[in-house]
Amino acid sequence: MHTILITGGAGFIGSNLAEKLLDLGYKVIVVDNFDEYYDPAIKHNNIANALKHSNYTFIESDITDASSLKKHLPSQVETIIHLAAKAGVRNSIVNPIGYEEENVRGISKVLELSVELNTTQFIFSSSSSIYGNSSIVPFSEDITDLNPINPYAKSKLLSEQIGKNFSDQYGINFLSLRFFSVYGPRLRPDLVMNQIAKSLFFGETLKIFGDGRASRDFTYVDDIISGIIKAINYNGNKFNIFNLGNGNPISLLEIINIFEKITGHSIKLEFSGVIKGESQTTWADNSKAKSILDFQPVTDIETGIKKYLDWFCSNKN
């Protein structure tokens, strides 16, 4: 049976991914350290259903403690999906210390572990934030003049470079998937759609940094997971990069309008200054992923927000 190790697998994307892989018949091992960036109880709840599955194993550990982690793993893990990271673009701007060090150390340790586990496929969760404020839109993987504008994005770009070097040295397949503004059930509490939903249902004022016209290429979590699964079976270049995005940027004000339209409630807004270090636009050119991985995002923004709100209403307490 094909075994997949997911680092950071109790989080938003990882927990959704693990359940889908179990449904597809994979053996799934998840490692997570329940970092206190947000309430660990949320992550415990994320994995509650998966823990009941016979092909699911959970290991509470820090990925940088590779020698200890290896004791709990089988001799071979065919695929590693590396999601674990010190998270948050905005948090990295406000609290920049440790981002590059922790994220680079993390991927380095997991790459070293992949050699010991005879891993053939290493999938890395990168980020659209790598593109910074590139004037070339939509963002293509061919853009080489990259200038990340915050510590989180810089750590992702450096991690890609480490992956390239490792792939060249050891012959492992290293795929970097650049995610674009993922949203959906189990969304991290600090992300914008969660903040909008809280404003709607708890009457909180929504603070907006800037004029609300900054746009993001919001991509529903099921579409991202579909792209990751396609990458598991990729057998092309030893090193490759793919954008996983919806391909349709939309402004924050438009997103708020969709929430208001669906619920019939209005949100009280408070405008504040722009945060330096955040991109004004993210926009995926996903043609490469469509062509090579057969990546097909199918969830339009209104459908995705409806699905997210259904989950939020069931879990808001």
| H or E stretch covering 316 | none
pLDDT for 94 equals 65
Boundaries of domain holding 62: 3-315
Question: Is there a cis peptide before residue 151, judged by omega within 30 degrees of 0?
Answer: no
The overall average pLDDT reported for the chain is 94
pLDDT, tens digit, 9 for 90 and up, residues 221-242:
999 999 999 999 999 999 999 9
The answer to whether the beta carbons of residues 93 and 275 sit under 8 Å apart is: yes
Residue with tokens 């440790």: 98
Q: What percent of the chain has pLDDT over 70?
A: 100
Predicted structure pTM score: 0.96
pLDDT, tens digit, 9 for 90 and up, residues 153-189:
999 999 999 999 999 999 999 999 999 999 999 999 9
Q: Residue 31: what are its φ and ψ, rounded to 5°? A: -120, 135
CATH classification at residue 151: 3.40.50.720
Question: What average pLDDT does this structure show over 113-134?
Answer: 96
Look at the chain and report how many structural domains it folds into.
1
pLDDT for 76 equals 95
Query: Is 152 part of the annotated catalytic residue set?
Result: yes
Determine which one of 26, 99, 152, 220 is catalytic.
152
- The token pair at 291 is 């062509």
pLDDT for 3 equals 98
Q: Which long-range contacts (CB under 8 A, 24 or more apart) does 257-262 make?
A: 258/301, 258/302, 258/305, 259/196, 259/197, 259/200, 259/305, 259/309, 260/200, 262/302, 262/305, 262/306, 262/309
